Amino acid sequence: MRMRLLILTAVLLAAGCSSDASDGPGAGTPGSAVPGANGSVTVLAAASLTESFDKIGTLFEQANPSVKITFSYGGSSGLAQQITAGAPADVFAAASPATMKTVTDAGDGSGEPVTFVKNQLVIAVPKGNPKGITSLAAMAKPEFKVALCAEQVPCGAAAKKALAGAGVTITPVTQEQDVKAALSKVKLGEVDAALVYRTDAQAAAADVDGVEFPESAQAINDYPIVALKDAPNPSGASAFVAFVQTPQAQQVLADAGFQKP
């Protein structure tokens, strides 16, 4: 625990000194090397973190040239099952506390998970919203084809909660195993709408519009991250978890549409 605290302190100090307050993420020197950070670090992360973690990983590698970050993205529930089944990994970043609990209850976390961002649902529709879908009630009309995430994954659990809060029932034509797969159905024109995270709609803004709806406030997901107990590279794992919490990394996440924890 003491080593993790020392690493966190070093990363926070490095981030604070690495750029002027007026600089954006990645401006100037990305940061200083983290003590003990070397070798390969494997991060299993929720699919909705893809774009942000790719950028954060690049910044971390630039600051620590002796480190190579490898990301594996997917539905949080599936990733949690991989970890409890013994898949080798250093860090787990989940899209909900429930999926993180699967890992920590199995004794596979090293220390307590930390919530580093929050995320909220929107209705994703094709660019220009040609069908005029502006609410969950409209989305539920039988003439519309809708994609949802499967209920066992965080975006599906959030969708279920939001729909219950609105008193709306939707029969989807497909239930996907992660949010990117649900969004792809809209991008490909296979459905008229899908419930996805705000960040995913923002990342695909060239192809889709994200329609806000009030019930999403009842289903905001916390995103926890933890170094894993059997991490092949424990010092690298702790360093990356700490880096995700620095102002530099948090700005990348904020720019992507994530909310502060």
Q: Is the pLDDT of residue 28 over 80?
A: no
pLDDT tens-place string over residues 225-246:
999 999 999 999 999 999 999 9
pLDDT tens-place string over residues 118-171:
999 999 999 999 999 999 999 999 999 999 999 999 999 999 999 999 999 999
Domains annotated for the chain, with CATH where assigned, are 2-118+222-255 (3.40.190.10), 121-218 (3.40.190.120)
Neighbours of 149 (CB within 10 A): 32
8: Cα separation from own chain's centroid: 21
Using DSSP's 3-state secondary structure scheme, residue 94 falls into: coil
Neighbours of 166 (CB within 10 A): 19
Phi and psi angles of residue 114, each rounded to the nearest 5 degrees, phi first: -120, 130
Confidence of residue 15 (pLDDT cuts 50, 70, 90): very low
- Position 35 scores a pLDDT of 60
Specify whether the CB–CB gap between 138 and 132 falls below 8 A.
yes
199: Cα separation from own chain's centroid: 9
Q: Is the pLDDT of residue 182 over 70?
A: yes
- State the Cα–Cα distance between residues 139 and 136, nearest whole angstrom: 5
- Position 29 scores a pLDDT of 38
Confidence of residue 33 (pLDDT cuts 50, 70, 90): low
Confidence of residue 38 (pLDDT cuts 50, 70, 90): confident
- Please measure the distance between the N-terminal and C-terminal CA atoms of the chain and give it in whole angstroms: 23
pTM metric for this prediction = 0.84
> What is the arrangement of strands in the sheet containing 193-197, beginning at the earlier edge strand?
174-176, 146-149, 193-197, 121-126, 208-211
Per-residue pLDDT, averaged over 5-28, amounts to: 37
What percent of the chain has a predicted confidence (pLDDT) above 90?
Answer: 85
- State the Cα–Cα distance between residues 115 and 225, nearest whole angstrom: 6
Confidence of residue 37 (pLDDT cuts 50, 70, 90): confident
- Position 30 scores a pLDDT of 44
pLDDT tens-place string over residues 192-201:
999 999 999 9
Alpha helices in 85-178 (DSSP H): 97-105, 136-139, 154-166
Q: Is the pLDDT of residue 190 over 70?
A: yes
- State the Cα–Cα distance between residues 149 and 96, nearest whole angstrom: 14
What percent of the chain has a predicted confidence (pLDDT) above 70?
Answer: 86
- Position 27 scores a pLDDT of 34
In 2-21, which positions are buried (b, 16+ CB within 10 angstroms) versus exposed (e)? eebeebbebbeebbeebbee
Specify whether the CB–CB gap between 260 and 118 falls below 8 A.
yes
Using DSSP's 3-state secondary structure scheme, residue 185 falls into: helix
Specify whether the CB–CB gap between 252 and 59 falls below 8 A.
yes
Q: What is the CA radius of gyration of the chain?
A: 19
**Stronger pLDDT, 183 or 28, i.e. the higher one:** 183
Q: Is the pLDDT of residue 186 over 90?
A: yes
Specify whether the CB–CB gap between 140 and 217 falls below 8 A.
no
Residue for token digits 């099952």? 81
> What is the arrangement of strands in the sheet containing 221-228, beginning at the earlier edge strand?
67-74, 39-46, 91-93, 221-228, 109-119
- Position 187 scores a pLDDT of 97
